[in-house]
Amino acid sequence: MQTLQTTSLQVRDNQLWILDQQALPQQKNWLPAHSVAQLVEHIHALRVRGAPLIGLSASLLLALLAEQGQTQRQLAESLAILRAARPTAVNLMNNLDRMKQALAQPAFATALAEEAWRLVEEDKQLCEAIATAGSALVKPGSQLLTHCNTGGLATAGVGTALGVIVRAHQQGRINNVWVDETRPLLQGGRLTAWELGELAVPYTLITDSMAASLMATKQVDAVWVGADRIAANGDVANKIGTYSLAVLAHYHQIPFYVAAPHTTLDRGCPNGEAIPIEQRAASEVTGVAGSFGSVQWAPEAANVYNPAFDVTPAALISGWVLDTGVVTPEQVQAGIFQPQ
């Protein structure tokens, strides 16, 4: 397969490599993701993360395994294992359903390579289209707040919500980006802060609990987040803490935008209650770990609740910024995301 270089994925020497997002920003380590077991382990550990990126990494690995001679049956097994690697982000399932169709063709190795490549190229274009549609909503002099990481690390392109923010910065409309640290795994504090710094976008890091007082003192003009799954009624699953921000934004009458590609839409899922929410290890809440080492501060026996995502009801969302354009609350109420 031809070589590929995105912010956090590489194909070289006919193998897949991933940028370890758990080691960033202190270390930039490219790790092998040469087997299904390796990639699944990286996905579980969030070394590869972000809804679009998970789907793309799984698709590329399948194509490479086909090139290395795996049979149709072996590939079908690999696909099933990869499809179950994380439950909430629907991009993984959507991408692999397309790869499954390619796998069913007689010249499946070529078809898989072509489909994986198409998915990567499409993702770049989807990000561009989202950035174009979303940046038009950003007013000059804006102070925006974002949560988790939705940038080039999480996609093959410029990102979703963060792509909008970066584009708006390039257009001279950003005064400051408030970056939620995003407990427990600190995707904001480690990854978004790093990406914005690299792109020279002015940002200020905050702990998640600081958003309310910033809004109350009129220091936030809009909130921009990504999505892991958008249900047919417009409810959105995204990183834990997104719902709190939506409630706060609603109370303070601040626009709350969700930016995502159409590959994040799940028309078969009626509402947020039907979205499977990943539960994660207690150790992520009782302490913190990264390239800086690990520390535990809670008692060993503490009971812990650690859902990786929450659901924001459609009623709290001001606009769904997709690659196809901005979808309004009225359009969602009229059923634009419902199965056609």
Among 122, 228, 310, 323, binds ligand MRU (CB under 6 A): 228
Residue 116: CB minimum distance to ligand MRU, A:
19
Rg (C-alpha) for the chain, rounded Å, is 19
Q: By rule CB under 6 A, what string of x and - marks binding of each residue 302-331 to ligand MRU?
A: ------x-----------------------
221 a catalytic residue: no
Our CB check for ligand MRU shows the closer of 112 and 184 to be 184
Residue among 135, 134, 214 nearest 178 (CA): 214
One of 11, 22, 42, 49 touching ligand MRU (CB under 6 A): 49
Backbone CA torsion sign across 78, 82, 85, 90? negative
**Residue 37 to residue 71: CA distance in whole angstroms:** 17
* Matching residue, tokens 């249900």: 231
CA atoms within 13 A on the CB side of 131: 22
8 binds ligand MRU (CB under 6 A): no
Residue 91, marked binder: no
Q: ∠ CA 100-58-261 to the nearest 5 degrees?
A: 85
Nearer to ligand MRU, 51 or 85 (CB): 51
Instruction: Work out whether strand 222-225 and strand 142-146 pair parallel, antiparallel, or are unpaired.
Output: parallel
According to DSSP, the residues that pair with 203 across neighbouring strands are 177
- By CB under 6 A, tell whether 160 contacts ligand MRU: yes
Contact 321, 134 (CB under 8 A): yes
Please give the C-alpha separations between residue 71 and each of 81, 106, 109, 145, 246, in angstroms, as whole numbers.
Answer: 15, 12, 9, 47, 47
- Does the footprint of ligand MRU cover residue 188 (CB under 6 A)? no
- Shortest Cβ 113–ligand MRU spacing (Å): 24
- CB nearer ligand MRU, residue 220 or residue 311: 311
Number of residues that bind ligand MRU (CB under 6 A): 18
Task: Tell me how far CA of residue 5 lies from CA of 155, 284, 315, in angstroms.
Answer: 12, 30, 39
**Least Cβ distance, residue 51 to ligand MRU (angstroms):** 3
Q: Are 35 and 75 in contact (CB under 8 A)?
A: no
- Does 246 bind ligand MRU (CB under 6 A)? Our answer is no
Tell whether residue 229 is a contact of ligand MRU (CB under 6 A).
no
To the question of whether residue 238 is assigned a binding role by annotation, the answer is yes
Report if residue 122 touches ligand MRU, rule: CB under 6 A: no
* 217: its two tokens: 């003192």
Shortest CB 261 distance to ligand MRU, Å = 8
Using the rule CB under 6 A, which residue among 61, 89, 113, 174 binds ligand MRU?
89
Binding interface with ligand MRU (CB under 6 A): 46, 49-52, 89, 148, 150, 154-155, 160, 187, 226-228, 238-239, 308
Binding site as annotated, residues for substrate = 49-51, 86, 187, 238-239
Binding site as annotated, residues = 49-51, 86, 187, 238-239
Q: Which residues are catalytic?
A: 228
